[in-house]
Chain A
Amino acid sequence: DSGVTQTPKHLITATGQRVTLRCSPRSGDLSVYWYQQSLDQGLQFLIQYYNGEERAKGNILERFSAQQFPDLHSELNLSSLELGDSALYFCASSVGPSYTFGSGTRLTVV
């Protein structure tokens, strides 16, 4: 157990739907990062939050959004899902440059 908890582990949904992925960071870590891993794009940075505020944005689609709550857990919302959104979504938390990754949520859009 890395200390970073992601739920659910697997998600199957239909095109056009909306899903929410949840991440609980390691105790004491203020930063949360979201990454998408797909076969064609590899591991891509989506977005970072630090203590509730958005810090950095990567290749995140407008259909995707995220937030970090006062208890520091984070949620990644994916809407109007397309087949190409099928991927493994990782959350990581950190203090400085040392990341701890969660085990990921595998999203399948059918």
Chain B
Amino acid sequence: AQSVTQPDIHITVSEGASLELRCNYSYGATPYLFWYVQSPGQGLQLLLKYFSGDTLVQGIKGFEAEFKRSQSSFNLRKPSVHWSDAAEYFCAVGARGSNYKLTFGKGTLLTVNP
């Protein structure tokens, strides 16, 4: 069965600082990996996705993530955080063999201090 762990429930960073949100997954084959962002009261917006190929993927809003098969990780990074990045971030894993059903992590809440 697929599973996703986001070890950090809440992270606080200062505006302009760098950010790394951790995600570890469990799946037998090569998974499809996603990062979504959710602002309060809003829906889920896709930041980036990894299906295959280059393990460093670029997304919207200046985010990037790196797939590391050996560590079963897909960490999200941003070099300089903006106040508007404050939101909840979800890592998700899916696979063709499971009808592309997504399994989500519990989320990491990001607070940005001015």
Contact = CB atoms under 8 A, between A and B. Distances in A.
A103 B101 contact: no
A58 B107 contact: no
Interface in A53-110: 55-56, 58, 90, 94, 96-99, 101-104
Interface residues on B, range: 20 to 34
Interface residues of A, number: 22
Q: Which of A2, A33, A45, A99 counts the most chain B CB atoms within 10 A? A: A99
A62 B85 CA distance: 39
Nearest first, the 5 A-B pairs at minimum CB distance are A43-B104, A103-B43, A101-B44, A97-B32, A56-B99
Interface of B: 32, 34, 36, 42-46, 49, 51, 90, 92, 94, 96, 98-107
Given A43-B104, A50-B99, A94-B100, 11 more contacts: A31-B99, A31-B100, A35-B102, A42-B106, A56-B101, A58-B101, A97-B49, A97-B100, A99-B34, A99-B102, A101-B43
